[in-house]
Copies of this chain bind each other. A is one copy, B any other.
Amino acid sequence: MPSLKHFPWIKTGRKSLPRGMWFMEWFSECEFHGHKVKRILAASKTPFQSATLIETNAFGKCLIIDNETQSSELDEYIYHESLVCPALIIHPNPSRALILGGGEGATAREILNSNTIKKAVMVDIDYAILEFAKKYMKEWHRKAFEDDRLSVLVQDAKNFVEKTSVKFDVIYSDLPSPEKGGPAFELYTNEFYKSVKRILDRNGIFVTQAGPGIPSLFQLHEAMHATLSSVFNTVRSYFAYIPSYDMTWSFLFCTDSAKLDPLLCTGREMDDIIEKRLRTKLKFLDGAAIEGVFRIPKYYRERIKANRKIITRNRPVFFTTYAGLQRM
């Protein structure tokens, strides 16, 4: 007679299977990550992107932009210190800073942490995302938006960079990936980087996030490195592992001043500057760690060396972490 033992799979007493809402992030057609969602805190659709703020068990609050983890409450400091602080420390006297993008306000927060900064300008095209961040993401911007030194312009970054007559000591590109149809792909071209250079002061430093720092998704970094090397004398790659991305992220440090090469700075010198310049202590970086992040594995340096194709307005690239790089 048919009986229960024919279907033996029920085990009783389990209290906590991974039931409920999950956020699924795909890194290719063959790799995905699932993050358990505790709560949906806020959601907004702007003309440029969709933003959702979730609470996860693993990383606290997480900002999801267009189905990609942007930053998390528990580890955003790793991304933002990495983007901001090396240039802020290596520059002899960073007084005027420009942020392209950076809507969460955490890039501004790290910049304003330096007592050398007199003026910071943030140019973000998406008014709605700024309002979203101001309202829901206090853990990110903290008091940054109330700091008199900060001006926020709701404007196309490309337009601003091409038109402004102001010069800056440090410029940060904290823009989304150059997605097809998205607003950012023209900001990843040789032409745009030339415009950026035009508004950089002598001794100025330009830093940009540069996509994933992992072998399977390294093509964007390679292409950006080649392109920036056609504009700046010194271009240095650096990496930081971001837990909520489940991967290493990459950055590029660009300057025309040979003296400002991060590979020539010692940890001790940088620790002294941190001590003098920064108001609150860093959590992820200090002198030794900055030495470390710029000394990337040979594998990646060889890939960078082998790639000489420059991104131009006529031959742009498109990139997402789930579809990789496409060249037009």
A→B interface (CB under 8 Å): 1-4, 6-7, 9-26, 28-37, 39-40, 43, 52, 56-59, 67, 74-75, 78, 213-219, 239-241, 243, 246-248, 267, 282-286, 288-289, 291-299, 301-303, 306, 322-326
Contacts and interface: CB of A to CB of B under 8 A. Distances in A.
Copies held by the complex: 4
A219 B17 contact: no
Given A10-B324, A248-B241, A306 B18 contact: no
A216 B291 contact: no
A43 B43 CA distance: 13
A7 B58 contact: yes
Contacts of A31: 9, 33-36, 58
The majority secondary structure among interface residues of chain A is mixed
A286 B267 contact: no
Nearest to A239: B241
A13 B326 contact: yes
Contact of A298 (B13, B289, B301): B289
A296 B292 contact: yes
Contacts of A214: 241, 243
Contact of A295 (B2, B7, B292): B292
B246 A246 contact: yes
Contacts of A26: 17-19
Contacts of A18: 17-18, 24, 26, 29-30, 32
Contacts of A218: 4
Contacts of A247: 241, 246
A28 B43 contact: no
Contacts of A9: 28-31, 57-59, 216
Contact of A33 (B32, B58, B286): B32
B323 A298 contact: no
Nearest to A292: B295
Given A7-B243, A36-B31, A67 B22 contact: no
12 contacts: A2-B299, A10-B219, A16-B29, A17-B29, A18-B24, A18-B32, A22-B22, A22-B34, A30-B58, A284-B299, A289-B295, A292-B294
Contacts of A7: 58-59, 74, 215-216, 243
